[in-house]
Amino acid sequence: MLQPKLQNIKGSIFSDINKLVTETGSIDLALGKTDFPCPEKLAELAATYIRSGYNNYAPNEGISELREVISSRVKRLYQHNYNPETEITITAGHVQAIMTAINSVVKDEDEVIVFEPAYDTYAPAIASTGARPVYVALKLPDFHIDWEEVRKMVTSKTRMIIMNSPHNPTGSVLAESDLIQLQRLIIGTNIVVLSDEIFESIMFDNSTHQSVAKFDKLADRSFIVSSFGPVFNINGWGLAYILAPEKLMNEFRRIQQFQISNVNTPLQYALSEYLRTEDAKKDISELYNGKRNYFNRLMGGSLFKIIPSQGSYFQILDYSAISDEPDTDFTYRLATDYGVGVIPVSAFLHEKNKLKMVRICFAKNNETLEMAAERLRLVPSLK
């Protein structure tokens, strides 16, 4: 009898939510789709490279031009040198990078520490190796890490710790002290860090992203995954990248060469040329800082408790003053009765919970935010 490899991993809820939003005609605050266009110059460059015949296979590790511009950018932002030839690889999206990184070092019976709520790719990727995820809950009210608890979870089988900042789904961010604690924790161990930094360019309230790349002892034993998708509204391009010291990157590339033939060639060239003169890091943070603040002001007078995002374009709404319903039931009722689509936080947890929270995406135009907030303000208490 066939035994499913991921039999203990629940299916993704995102396709179900997308279907619910479509069927009910709800305002979509659920999925991480932005309302904003790709920069015109970047779109023109993409078209130019397609028309110019840059449509054959690229090197499996990505074109050198893009790896070089990423190396320069990381050096400028985080003062760490990554060799573009041996320590930077272009990937077919953020999820592929995560899956490959985990599969390159984690093996059967290893343990991987995951902080919950957690992006829903992590657990299936771990399970696919035969390893076991070890869950550590982020602590309320601000979803911070209790490092004493983490220390108790580390065993001789711990092979990897997965970090995510800015965090999806909560919008929390790591402080410098968190990275210092992590660095102390892994010294003298065989632990590798996987740092998911896809929203590194979206930080609020004048805070600075604390990349693993800023800490040499961490960077020397870490994979860092990032992407220009959220910055330039090109998530659908399926372009991301990963940084790692050469020894780890050799293992990563050894697996990637059998997973994909190459990453979209003309789009790599377009992005590499665009990045030589453009970097919207400041502009994108200002845009989404404004969106967060505007939406939160619009929610004044509602019964939802807002847990303000510190980074990314996601944040959490607490509905505990409204209902005791499980978050999946509340999500369904919010879509069917009020026409607003959200994601239940339980989608990011490995087992049932008592949290009364949903995630929303505020990467929307003002009209959409206004309509959604108006409907959410109408939701009464059932208590």
- pLDDT (tens, 9 = 90+) of the chain, 383 residues, equals 445 544 555 556 788 888 999 999 999 999 988 999 999 999 999 999 999 999 999 999 999 999 999 999 999 999 999 999 999 999 999 999 999 999 999 999 999 999 999 999 999 999 999 999 999 999 999 999 999 999 999 999 999 999 999 999 999 999 999 999 999 999 989 999 999 999 999 999 989 999 999 999 999 999 999 999 999 999 999 999 999 999 999 999 999 999 999 999 999 999 999 999 876 666 889 999 999 999 999 999 999 999 999 999 999 999 999 999 999 999 999 999 999 999 999 999 998 888 999 999 999 999 999 999 999 999 999 87
d(CA 298, CA 220): 45
Whether 85 and 117 share a structural domain: yes
140-163 in b/e form (b: 16+ CB < 10 A) is eeebebebeebeeebeeebbbbbb
d(CA 273, CA 44): 11
Beta partners for 327? none
Beta partners for 203? 311
Whether 266 and 294 share a structural domain: no
Whether 269 and 286 share a structural domain: no
Cis bond before residue 133 (omega within 30° of 0): no
Q: Which amino acid is at 360?
A: I
Whether 197 and 256 share a structural domain: yes
Cis bond before residue 141 (omega within 30° of 0): yes
- Coil/strand/helix, residue 172: coil
Within-domain flag for 49: no
Whether 149 and 134 share a structural domain: yes
Whether 287 and 263 share a structural domain: no
> Angle at which helices 265-275 and 64-78 pack, to 10 degrees?
40
Whether 269 and 290 share a structural domain: no
Q: Domain range holding 87?
A: 56-275
Pick from 229, 245, 275: which residue ends a domain? 275
Within-domain flag for 269: yes
Whether 131 and 18 share a structural domain: no
Within-domain flag for 207: yes
Pick from 275, 300, 329: which residue ends a domain? 275
| CATH at 255 | 3.40.640.10
Within-domain flag for 177: yes
The whole model's pTM is what?
A: 0.94
Question: Using the 8-state DSSP alphabet, how is residue 339 labeled?
Answer: -
Within-domain flag for 43: no
Whether 246 and 357 share a structural domain: no
Pick from 211, 246, 275: which residue ends a domain? 275
